[in-house]
Amino acid sequence: MKHFFTYQYMSKTSVLLFILCLFLFSGCHYASSSPIHATGFYFDTVITVTLYDESKKTLLDQCMELASHYENLLSPNIPGSDIWNINHSNGSPVRVDADTLSLLENALLYAQLSEGLTDPTIGALSMLWNFGSDNEEIIPDKEQIEEAVSHVDYQSVLINGSLVTLTDPGAQIDLGFIAKGFIGDKMKEFLLSQNVSSALINLGGNVVAVGSKPDGSPFQIGIRDPFKGNGTPALVLDLSDKSVVSSGNYERFFIKDGKRYHHILSPKTGYPAEGGLVQTTIISSSSTDADALSTLCYILGYEKAVSVLENFPDVQAVFVTEDGNIQYVNFN
């Protein structure tokens, strides 16, 4: 089995920086057309693309081809990918694809914004915890964690044109906190270029709406109740031409000696983040932003997250606290 993104803190998520379960209540049939689907296994999760135009059925295969392309470009675990090449370059410059460069630049912007709370060089730490593997219920030694944290520094990533240099050979790039959002945006861009006006893209919990339903009404996206394991939604959001991404501590975790250890790691402490939240959901026109912000807000906790979102007035958020309260940000 291929492992794409070892979900560092978060999708995001667990070896999925989140496999964050968002449930689609999009309806099955419309007067004008019935939905057609394609499903594949990429990025260590099941992904689904839904279209509402039978004449565009071939685009479904092309979407899966895009998923394969980006997996082989961005996975830190596939030999020959851009990220694998950077991580194994021993400090030498590596020439990368334009999309890899764009994603890295976005990741570094969020690292700067968050003062390193979302950091693309968290790979050594995320691999140490190894969530999603058969050995995930092992708590790393304190010394191992401290050593891994010492190599988490986004400033060790240098970009010169199309060349990327990782100046600390002990650092490892893992773009799990932002990559699926970036891929969702790219897939939406492709569908729009093919004159698709109604579609849903679900990349293992990162949901991207292309337009609205064929009848013009918004898609309805159910957000999982983090306190229930039966798929019950805590709320349902209307979504048109936007992306929604959730991060939470309930998908990739284990309990040892009465304490929950989850996959959303703090690059500062090296341990699972403890910000008082159990779930963060971000709604944005940019899936890239939604992905990165869902991780960052989870790590920050409610009050600090609200402060950060003041810089993103067009972004909406829903936070679920440890005591079960639901808080809404930037909703009218």
Among residues 184, 204, 194, the alpha carbon closest in space to that of 59 is found at 194
Average pLDDT of span 88-97 = 97
Average pLDDT of span 317-321 = 96
pLDDT > 80? residue 267? yes
To 5 degrees, how large is the angle CA 169–CA 159–CA 294? 85
Cβ pair 86, 92 in contact under 8 A: no
Q: What's residue 188's pLDDT? A: 98
Q: What's residue 170's pLDDT? A: 94
pLDDT, tens digit (0-9, with 9 covering 90-100), for 181-221: 999 999 999 999 999 999 999 998 799 999 999 999 999 99
Q: What's residue 4's pLDDT? A: 36
pLDDT > 70? residue 249? yes
Total residue count of the chain as it appears in this document? 332
pLDDT, tens digit (0-9, with 9 covering 90-100), for 113-162: 999 999 999 999 998 887 765 555 788 899 999 999 999 999 999 999 99
Q: What's residue 19's pLDDT? A: 29
Average pLDDT of span 160-170 = 96
Q: What's residue 133's pLDDT? A: 53
What are the residues facing 222 on neighbouring strands?
A: 23, 236
Domain 1-275: top CATH class: alpha beta
Q: What's residue 139's pLDDT? A: 86
Average pLDDT of span 302-327 = 95
Which of the two residues, 228 and 108, has the higher pLDDT score?
Answer: 108
pLDDT > 70? residue 5? no
Q: What's residue 135's pLDDT? A: 54
**Mean pLDDT score of the chain:** 87
Q: What's residue 132's pLDDT? A: 63
Provide long-range contacts, Cβ within 8 A and 24+ apart, for 112-115: 112/154, 113/296, 113/308, 113/311, 114/296, 114/299, 114/308
Q: What's residue 319's pLDDT? A: 96
Provide the percentage of residues in the chain whose pLDDT is more than 90: 73
Lowest mean pLDDT of 78-82, 244-248, 304-308, name the range.
244-248
The answer for residues whose C-beta is within 8 angstroms of residue 144's C-beta and 6 or more apart is 128
CA–CA distance, 172 with 49 (Å, rounded to integer): 31
pLDDT band with cut points at 50, 70 and 90 for residue 27: very low
Average pLDDT of span 49-56 = 96
